[in-house]
Structure 1
Amino acid sequence: MRALLDENMPKALVRLFAPEVEAWTVQQRGWGGLKNGRLLTAASAEFDALITTDQGIPHQQNLSQYAIGIVLMEARSNRIEDLAPLVPEAKARIGSVAPGTVLRVHETGGPAAG
Structure 2
Amino acid sequence: MRVLLDHNIPHELRRLFPKDHDVYTAQFLGWEDYEDGELLNAAMDNNFAVLVTMDTSLPYQRNIDSFSLGVVVLDVHPATPDVLTSRMDRLVEACSRAASAREVVTLN
TM-score w.r.t. the length of structure 1 is: 0.85
Deviation at 1:44, TM superposition (A): 0.9
1:66 maps onto 2:50 in alignment = no
Aligned twin of 2:16? 16
> Quick check: 1:10–1:78 contact (8 Å CA) kept in 2?
no
Q: CA RMSD in A?
A: 1.3
Q: Which of the two has greater strand per residue?
A: 1
**SS of the counterpart of 2:11?**
coil
Aligned twin of 2:105? 103
The residue type equivalent to 2:71 in the other structure is I
Deviation at 1:18, TM superposition (A): 3.2
The one-character-per-residue Cα deviations of 1:7-31 (angstroms, maximum 9, x if unpaired) are 0000000101131421100011111
1:81 maps onto 2:108 in alignment = no
Equivalences, count: 105
Give the ranges of 4+ consecutive aligned residues of structure 1 lying more than 3 Å apart after TM superposition: none
Aligned twin of 2:28? 28
TM-score w.r.t. the length of structure 2 is: 0.89
Structure 2 unmatched runs, 5+: none
The residue type equivalent to 1:32 in the other structure is E
> Quick check: 2:6–2:32 contact (8 Å CA) kept in 1?
no
